[in-house]
Structure 1
Amino acid sequence: MSWIKVNIIIILLFILHLVGGVALSINSVKPIFLTLTPFNLLLTFGLLIFGNNDFSFKFFKIISLLFMIGFFIEVFGVYSGLLFGEYHYGKTLGFQLLGVPLIIGVNWILLVVSSFAVSSYFVSNSILKVVLSSFIMVLLDFMIEPVAIRLDFWHWQSGIIPLQNYLMWFLVAVLMNWILVFNRFKFNLKLGFGLLISQVLFFTLQSINFQ
């Protein structure tokens, strides 16, 4: 029955991202769906946890660590401008603490877990796994950045995405992926692929819409 549950969750992920991608292209409903963005991320996170079927203390310890790293790196980044560049968050991602939406920690989890699952399918060597997963995350950020700016996720002070943002993304990704490798983290490969493809679908739809 577990494979049925996983397949159903993957279908739901596709539907969520497809509906969101299309709805945000329709001006009459766009404001409504923008306000639903944090809830969509939470729902996606919940579906992944449920589908992965690992409710161990170790699993949640790792997930919590990823959340804390992602959130507090963003806090330092926003206040200092030293990490990713000078930027600030908009209102779309919801409630903020110290100038950073709480949901951003969940977003980091979704990105690293899906990238790690995909890289684990292709390579078994730990170093290669970390490098490949980190590169996947940077490629995702290339897709995310232009869309995020237009959807009021965050904004760059200069209006230009700095190169250091991508370099820092890679370094943070390496740290997070190393934590996963070090702890022998396991995640359902099918779910990881499903989420990654769903994310690519959403941001591709938005990229087409904004052109």
Structure 2
Amino acid sequence: MTDKQIENGSVFIALLVHVSGAIGILFTGYKHWFVAFTPLNLLLMLFLLIANQRKRNKAFWMYAALCFAIGMVTEMIGVHTGWLFGDYVYGKVMGIQLAGVPLLIGVYWFVVVFCSGTIMRFVIERLFRVFTYMHGFFDRRSVRIVMVIDGAILAMCFDLIMEPTAIKLGFWHWDAIKVPVYNYLCWFLVSAGLLTVFQYMDFYKKNHFAVHLFIIQALFFLVLSLYL
């Protein structure tokens, strides 16, 4: 199969899974059955994301492992101390846990941050073509700073969209009535740190499926948050 065929097939599968999931949760009596398949859904999306990653070199795997590790450690600190994100606990929906944190949360940190970094890479490259005649407008340091800040905002906004649905479906529970603003601040800071590493590690960063996946999942959570 060609890279384009793999991408198109992956987008079709992602759409099929998320559309059927939204319909099953919102309009059938099998809501809990669909929610129970959340771990399988996330693992499938991870597989598709990796399948669409060209040149899966050592740096790519190291970055994936770093995102997983940092995501797990920061979440463990949050769950056990409240020093990061706030006071919350995870439910059983997302499967096997380590020290109170589902292993899939580490996977999700990689997926969200990698997709955010990839999207910003595409956006900046398009802007570069438009403003390339402006001398000094896009020096390397400025580009990296913009990518990190905007990518972290994008990741934070994804969490903002996801939170209402995740709470209703029992992914996790907050001690507070409302999600604390501190949670989003921590999302921004952790994402910014991981995206800084993203800029400097030498691996292929033009994964088109990552853009599609981010949009599909954001729309999925947005629809559920509005109608669930």
C-alpha separation in 2, matches of 1:45 and 1:113: 11
Q: Which runs of 5+ in 2 are unaligned?
A: 126-142
Number of residues of Structure 1 aligned to a counterpart in Structure 2? 210
C-alpha separation in 1, matches of 2:21 and 2:205: 25
Mapping for residues 75-154 of structure 1, pairs under 5 Å: 75-123=76-124, 125-154=143-172
Aligned counterpart, 2:221: 203
CA offsets per residue over residues 88-118 of structure 1, 9 Å max, x none? Answer: 0011111111001010001111101111111
- Assess if the C-alpha contact under 8 Å between 1:119 and 1:132 holds in 2: yes
C-alpha separation in 2, matches of 1:206 and 1:110: 20
Aligned counterpart, 2:74: 73
Which TM-score applies when normalising by structure 1?
0.95
Alignment of 1:164 onto 2:182:
yes
Aligned counterpart, 1:25: 26
Alignment of 1:42 onto 2:43:
yes
Aligned counterpart, 2:137: none
State the percentage of identical aligned residues: 34
Which TM-score applies when normalising by structure 2?
0.88
Tell me the amino acid that sits aligned with residue 51 of structure 2. F
Q: Which 4+ runs in 1 deviate beyond 4 A?
A: none
CA offsets per residue over residues 24-58 of structure 1, 9 Å max, x none? Answer: 11352111111110111001000110111333222
- Assess if the C-alpha contact under 8 Å between 2:59 and 2:202 holds in 1: no
Aligned counterpart, 1:58: 59
Q: Which runs of 5+ in 1 are unaligned?
A: none
CA offsets per residue over residues 146-168 of structure 1, 9 Å max, x none? Answer: 11110001111022100100100
- Residue aligned with 2:155, SS: helix
C-alpha separation in 1, matches of 2:56 and 2:158: 28
Alignment of 1:13 onto 2:14:
yes
- Residue aligned with 1:52, SS: coil
Tell me the amino acid that sits aligned with residue 141 of structure 1. D
C-alpha separation in 2, matches of 1:188 and 1:182: 15
Structure possessing the higher radius of gyration over alpha carbons: 2
C-alpha separation in 1, matches of 2:146 and 2:83: 28
RMSD: 1.3
Aligned counterpart, 1:182: 200
Moved more, 168-177 or 4-13: 4-13
